[in-house]
Structure 1
């Protein structure tokens, strides 16, 4: 075993599997997606059910508590604990079997829901799927969904995870292996006499429990579709067949550890459409739900205007389209066997709702791209609602705590009306979204958890809210479980007899209370262990303008920015978007945006786990594999910008310290390029000689990757020698350091494209965006470069500044005003365009390319352009110029500036390339390859073995009206 510990003694030295007790690991696992922080004693990553069994047997003997974790997306605090955390998501993620004939799938607990659904759909040619689809489905695991009884957007049709569990392979607290089924519990191995005896005792104890509490089981449980609070003991009743498997769903890891599950899969109707309805408010929307349900929809989801406003503020006004007028909206999905019948149903439904007089307007969304973007708004609700923009540029923060209460759908409108009044009574704001068709609301609230007064208000509110939902016949939890947030409120909902039955049920499986203690049975108060409680935060002076500068006092910007991570975990997705390439390569939480943010949060609070501030080795370690791709700044629903935080941290960490060699060789590249360009033949000769590897090692660079050839300064002068057309230039074309030094032919092509549209381009080769100094955390030099750029480019006009290299364009658009706090910087930032943006602007003006474009293109959008200018900017430009088929390698190329050239990062760089770019290149046939980013171009060269400049093209080269002039 190779356990690490911050103390002299490591209590896990005799544990049968490796336990990581390092401060960085413990810091990252102190949180889930809830309000709570509980540092564990250690974290382990079992690979097999046998390892889980051996570990639990050891923990039982040593009296070590155990918390089992999947994707760590719990909003109720179900996945944090003070003992040993077992993360099953990293290795136990195999889909064992899919049986379409039996309508079942058997999987390990770490399988991600979206991956299971996708695998089933592939296996059945789209005819079947796995139904539970919570908004976190791209990172939530099957095991976690079983633990919390997750539901999802289509629960109005398919119910909860409970309804899809067939059998559970379990490890009990003492390591015993048993299997729970729809009709009882048995030893997983019939030859294991101890397990046979243990299963028999459990069966007898559960039978006695059911007999003794039959009346409350029938009257208090299973009253509404989303009654998730408490243990699901009604499944043990005779009329339900003594269903032990389903009784254990929703037990939140307090009774046993799931090591495999057999679940049902469902048929998918061949036709579906999405109807969007606009309302004045959420109460009006809820009043129409009973009528909508008569049409048997597969989904009835809702959002309010605050989420839409946040989406538009964070990702642009065109990020949410096709919404009818209103301040609240319902998404109604109808499906069936016939497209005509589904369309007829939609028309009838909309007519009926209009007659009722509450709906403001409605429309059918047929465009699949628009449908996907609309569903993303709903699915990102938790993150989007956490930071709400204010008109003055500030924001307010909302939190879970009363996050997923539920009532019967017919009671939802009255409940929401009363709940709105309750919020006002406590001077709180609630952001509402959720599963209207199932009566389950997600409500994030502006709790103040940092002060005694705020926590007192929170306590009073939660008590009143619990009493309100019970008065409306509802449940404290309708999806996420009780966890630490609501277990202490269960006496408001259930009788003493029912609570005693819950305690007895847990004791049958875990008599010593070692599994996830404090959940449902013997809980602490809901305001105990809050992450923001009692934190004495220091001032953190930064170069970047971080966080909400209107709300944060001086020096607090880093605190505000880092705490924007609330743990929703979209960075742990393996598909969709670009974030987070390093996590997708390693599968390790510490390499996710969330893992890094959590360790940074430990740093700013001065926690015992990470207590060295700017000199923290833990923070340096978790930031090491961050590619600074900036994808998180757009893909993360809360807007975490880890590239910026990494740059800021490295700037402080390396002050008065010797930096890695690559920080001097690549970090200072714009300083070296003028020298290299004047001695290009000699430098290129050295890089082609036997001395190359020695030179690369001295520079801290990998010897596995060829460097590009340096361009002679004469080449750039020759290519740009043609005089500017007569008359005043109306476009500024900035030729960046990378283009000047390595791809001057791109600059010439860009100029010809701009000129071809009737514009007159002024060429600027005298400014630098400072990107290489930013990415290596050398912010004094970066600020100096950017200050000069702002002064040089702020010429008193509003002419667009078109930047050939997308990463440099992004730096001037985003980093410039965050590092240089002048009006000139703001003005220049607003004028920056990427070249793809310029192309779309020219097409909008009536321009068309002078020569034909390829019919098919494989495009690698630079991550910085994706993040700062929009995920669709390259595709939009290509469609505008007439490219018929666009295959985008959606993901980071893996080079990411200096990262992929550094000796320690080459393997990770190539693993990242395999996520999207490499497969796209292998499948490209004869399609042209487009890489506006120089890093992306170099990775294509590496992957294809083509070391020529023609390995891929810049958009300017593809549209060049006179390519013969290269």
Structure 2
């Protein structure tokens, strides 16, 4: 048996050989090892090195070299394993970066040939034009790879109609642990390629027929039932779900199924999980495509995070069943959904036809694994008993027993899952910060409970490190011996993913959370949602990996740097993992100043999109700011922190010299010298300074006061002019004043006040706090006088709505001001103002901070009410304030823009760009010479045009 932990000498020799012979990245740095030490499970196993092979030959060579050096190998795709199947102590091989080609799609044969690193969503997009899809669809499908799905026998919501991954695999090109490459399919030829396989089957026929394949979601252990002659002697299907312990996938031919067009949803509310489960057998007669269960407390979590309008109107109850029903037309599907709902044992029913509401409900369901990471009391919840399954007719009784077991152990958690298949997902508030003893006790009891109901420890995620030790609860000694013999045929040296399924590691070994050192908030951010614990905040990331998915087509903004680079260190998850490693002090040993930490955070744009898009609520912008604060407090900072990070004070000093500075900016040598002195990239432009900043505009102030007292009961506004609008684009506040006066508002211009945004993004939190306290002094008296604060720059407005309370938590005025700040569109929508007719075609680029904190719904609604045809460009523009200006970031900044707003603009040249963010307007002008306009300017222009038309 290969040692779980390879020796340093063997590892060093292997890395040297791999660097000489393997085409691809070979990385034994502490940063890479930190990034790959965890997957989406509770486990932390530090690898010796990480390899990202570029070709199949490189993958084979890497595995061969590891075998010769006696180093174990763990394969990894998207790293979304919730059971610890994708972490290992030796060589971790990541196939997602390069081995991600869809080699062919055959519509007639309904098959596709893929490399192991192909992401499921990419395969689905390739098949869609042919009216086809891959049947199984785990919720992580936007980042899960086919190799990982084959490793875990992934299922998803539609497995009840299309089958598991094992049911949808035709053949596998397979590298065994002894170095042979075989084709695994069905029939005698595949058996002949594996000496001893037929003997194993013939010696265990009765065992395979009685203990394996008892019900559809029996995923724990190996799928040896597929080897039976009546099941086609299907070796490929038997290898599906082997979790990388029996070989390495090089290529897969998978089966495809027809896509269901415009299915409808029947949504039914029940008092609790068990009563919903009791109704499942009754509803299965209608043959729904999917039948999902959802603890409604998960919906409450969405409402708390994103507001009451974030969840569609749904039936009441403690649990929802969501049935997806097909039909030849949308009307037929809706009729079928109504018939199913009418047969349900509840009067709380609702039918949702195909469209945005149904898509929103599916997105909530897909995010459930992250949403369930916090209980209603705010406690951290963990996987482990995340994936149990029983025959559907046993589900109600099983859930009652499981609830009683949780209560006896003092545990809580929100369940969801594939109730139509009897599969339950659950995260529990196990006290992992205190160690694994409580987890072990619960898991052992739960394993016996599921076995009593004829179930499986795992219903789709595999056993991994979380459940392999518990397999004796559901399998006999003879069955376990048969599985060990099966592994031995393919991997006699136990070199492939050791410690999983066969000869398992203890379930409470290598847990990540107990190793973390507790660090509490200090004079930086308060981390109030995590009880003042930085450790809890950083461990919000459980690794579901949504940050690795390009969700821009669905309106997502996370994670722009990963989309541009495809490097794990540039994902929100990768950064969180490095911060977690810093907290345990193992690999990353220099605390906040560790080079690994700063390397991981360097390409974080502080766009804040993860705070909204990450289902676990990870706010990497806050973590980065806190890191910079603790790293540089009392020390010399990077040059850009003194220049770009303190932009408001420099702009005030520069204003009197605007003509001279503008002239200098047009001289290339002076411009590049100035940019270099600032710590900015020399390819950037310098903004043109206005000759009259808004704060010097006495005429505007007179206009604000004119007629204010005459309008009895007029809406009272405090127009807050931020630094960017004041000193760089003063026409915007002038236009806002025009709009607000046209709306009949009583407008007062706020005293000078700075939100400290540039100080926050560079971690100068003491200075930011000073400015925020000054802002409270300046603005709160007006709020108490009944005025609504209208902000113009989205990032500054978002700062007062979010960061303000975190940086001055001891001042009750923070909540007072935060609740009174609105965007221009939010305010105008609230006073029921009818905008002028525009009928423009617009390409809107919402600012990332607006997306994360306020959303863009009010802007969209206002523009549509004005008659505009609005297309939204989701995703970051790539500038992100000081980040995109800084030296070293230009290439990634440009790549983000080229793949986002600029690509959209090129595809729709007839659309004018609407961008409220100064950064967004700067980026499109800098990189493409395009003009972006603020909403205030668009509306004011229409008002002026109307007045001009009226006077003609």
User: Taking structure 2 as the reference length, what is the TM-score of the superposition?
Assistant: 0.94
Contact preservation (8 Å) 2:45, 2:89: yes
Inter-partner Cα distance in structure 2 for 1:434 and 1:173:
35
When structure 1 is superposed on structure 2, of 261-270 and 512-521 the one drifting more is 261-270
1:876 maps to 2:861: yes
Q: Which residue of 2 aligns with 1:400?
A: 383
1:612 maps to 2:612: no
Inter-partner Cα distance in structure 2 for 1:281 and 1:743:
55
Inter-partner Cα distance in structure 1 for 2:117 and 2:405:
39
1:437 maps to 2:420: yes
Give the secondary structure class of the aligned counterpart of 1:98: strand
Contact preservation (8 Å) 1:279, 1:327: yes
Q: Which residue of 2 aligns with 1:308?
A: 299
Give the secondary structure class of the aligned counterpart of 1:253: coil
1:638 to 596, 600, 616: 616
Distance change >3 Å, CA 339–CA 308, structure 1 → 2: closer
Which structure 2 residues correspond to residues 720-739 of structure 1 after superposition, within 5 A? 720-723=700-703, 724-727=705-708, 730-739=716-725
When structure 1 is superposed on structure 2, of 209-218 and 338-347 the one drifting more is 338-347
Inter-partner Cα distance in structure 2 for 1:257 and 1:596:
28
When structure 1 is superposed on structure 2, of 744-753 and 657-666 the one drifting more is 657-666
Give the secondary structure class of the aligned counterpart of 2:321: strand
Contact preservation (8 Å) 1:184, 1:243: no
Task: Render the CA deviation track for 1:435-490: whole Å, top value 9, x for unaligned.
Answer: 011110101112112325xx333222212211111111111110100101110011
Inter-partner Cα distance in structure 2 for 1:360 and 1:340:
22
Q: Which residue of 2 aligns with 1:856?
A: 841
Distance change >3 Å, CA 792–CA 221, structure 1 → 2: same
1:628 maps to 2:612: no
Distance change >3 Å, CA 714–CA 253, structure 1 → 2: closer
Inter-partner Cα distance in structure 2 for 1:527 and 1:314:
32
Which structure 2 residues correspond to residues 148-159 of structure 1 after superposition, within 5 A? 148-159=152-163
Q: Which residue of 2 aligns with 1:574?
A: 550
Give the secondary structure class of the aligned counterpart of 1:533: helix
Q: Which residue of 1 aligns with 2:228?
A: 237
Contact preservation (8 Å) 2:694, 2:726: no
Contact preservation (8 Å) 1:313, 1:389: no
Task: Render the CA deviation track for 1:103-136: whole Å, top value 9, x for unaligned.
Answer: 01111111111111111103x1xx2112211111
2:884 to 900, 924, 929: 900
Q: Which residue of 2 aligns with 1:528?
A: 509
Inter-partner Cα distance in structure 1 for 2:148 and 2:839:
47
Which structure 2 residues correspond to residues 752-901 of structure 1 after superposition, within 5 A? 752-764=738-750, 766-795=752-781, 796-821=784-809, 822-842=811-831, 845=832, 847-850=833-836, 852-883=837-868, 885-901=869-885
Inter-partner Cα distance in structure 1 for 2:933 and 2:188:
63
Give the secondary structure class of the aligned counterpart of 1:50: helix
Task: Render the CA deviation track for 1:293-322: whole Å, top value 9, x for unaligned.
Answer: 111100101111221111111111111122
Distance change >3 Å, CA 549–CA 73, structure 1 → 2: closer
Please report how far the alpha carbon of residue 431 of structure 1 lies from its aligned counterpart in structure 2 after TM superposition.
1.5
Inter-partner Cα distance in structure 1 for 2:74 and 2:529:
35
Unaligned runs of 5+ in 2: 1-7, 710-714
Inter-partner Cα distance in structure 1 for 2:66 and 2:619:
39
Please report how far the alpha carbon of residue 367 of structure 1 lies from its aligned counterpart in structure 2 after TM superposition.
6.2
Inter-partner Cα distance in structure 1 for 2:509 and 2:189:
36
Contact preservation (8 Å) 1:547, 1:560: no
User: Taking structure 1 as the reference length, what is the TM-score of the superposition?
Assistant: 0.93
Please report how far the alpha carbon of residue 865 of structure 1 lies from its aligned counterpart in structure 2 after TM superposition.
0.2
1:281 to 272, 275, 281: 272
Q: Which residue of 1 aligns with 2:478?
A: 497
Distance change >3 Å, CA 184–CA 626, structure 1 → 2: farther
Q: Which residue of 1 aligns with 2:493?
A: 512
Q: Which residue of 1 aligns with 2:916?
A: 932
1:662 maps to 2:650: no
Give the secondary structure class of the aligned counterpart of 1:388: coil
Inter-partner Cα distance in structure 2 for 1:258 and 1:94:
14
Task: Render the CA deviation track for 1:721-776: whole Å, top value 9, x for unaligned.
Answer: 44323345811111110111211111111111111111111112501111011111
Give the secondary structure class of the aligned counterpart of 1:713: coil
Contact preservation (8 Å) 2:334, 2:352: no
Distance change >3 Å, CA 888–CA 340, structure 1 → 2: closer
Inter-partner Cα distance in structure 2 for 1:170 and 1:871:
48
Task: Render the CA deviation track for 1:589-648: whole Å, top value 9, x for unaligned.
Answer: 110000000110111222x20011121111011000000000000000111000011011
Contact preservation (8 Å) 1:404, 1:477: yes
1:383 to 366, 370, 392: 370
Task: Render the CA deviation track for 1:863-921: whole Å, top value 9, x for unaligned.
Answer: 000000025343233224332x2211100000011111112101000111123211210
Task: Render the CA deviation track for 1:362-391: whole Å, top value 9, x for unaligned.
Answer: 11112622112111111111110111243x
Which structure 2 residues correspond to residues 439-588 of structure 1 after superposition, within 5 A? 439-452=422-435, 455-539=436-520, 541-548=522-529, 550=531, 552=532, 557-575=533-551, 576=554, 577-588=556-567
Q: Which residue of 2 aligns with 1:672?
A: 650
When structure 1 is superposed on structure 2, of 538-547 and 315-324 the one drifting more is 538-547
Inter-partner Cα distance in structure 2 for 1:539 and 1:235:
52
Distance change >3 Å, CA 62–CA 540, structure 1 → 2: farther
Task: Render the CA deviation track for 1:663-688: whole Å, top value 9, x for unaligned.
Answer: 22211110011222211111011110
How well do the aligned residues superpose, as a CA RMSD in angstroms? 2.0
Inter-partner Cα distance in structure 2 for 1:55 and 1:416:
45
1:651 maps to 2:638: no
When structure 1 is superposed on structure 2, of 482-491 and 461-470 the one drifting more is 461-470
Distance change >3 Å, CA 539–CA 278, structure 1 → 2: closer
Contact preservation (8 Å) 1:854, 1:928: no
Inter-partner Cα distance in structure 2 for 1:8 and 1:500:
31
Please report how far the alpha carbon of residue 92 of structure 1 lies from its aligned counterpart in structure 2 after TM superposition.
0.9
Q: Which residue of 1 aligns with 2:727?
A: 741
Distance change >3 Å, CA 130–CA 547, structure 1 → 2: farther
Give the secondary structure class of the aligned counterpart of 1:430: coil
Contact preservation (8 Å) 2:530, 2:537: no
Please report how far the alpha carbon of residue 797 of structure 1 lies from its aligned counterpart in structure 2 after TM superposition.
3.0
Q: Which residue of 1 aligns with 2:933?
A: 953
Aligned length: 921
1:346 maps to 2:349: no
Please report how far the alpha carbon of residue 570 of structure 1 lies from its aligned counterpart in structure 2 after TM superposition.
0.6
Contact preservation (8 Å) 1:542, 1:558: no
1:272 maps to 2:272: no
Task: Render the CA deviation track for 1:685-720: whole Å, top value 9, x for unaligned.
Answer: 111013211221121112222222111235664462
Give the secondary structure class of the aligned counterpart of 1:203: coil
Task: Render the CA deviation track for 1:242-268: whole Å, top value 9, x for unaligned.
Answer: 211111000000011112111111112
Distance change >3 Å, CA 612–CA 61, structure 1 → 2: same
Q: Which residue of 1 aligns with 2:679?
A: 700
Give the secondary structure class of the aligned counterpart of 1:45: strand
Please report how far the alpha carbon of residue 926 of structure 1 lies from its aligned counterpart in structure 2 after TM superposition.
1.5
Inter-partner Cα distance in structure 1 for 2:81 and 2:339:
39
Inter-partner Cα distance in structure 1 for 2:780 and 2:333:
57
Please report how far the alpha carbon of residue 281 of structure 1 lies from its aligned counterpart in structure 2 after TM superposition.
0.7
Inter-partner Cα distance in structure 1 for 2:11 and 2:195:
46
Give the secondary structure class of the aligned counterpart of 1:34: coil
1:59 to 51, 60, 66: 66
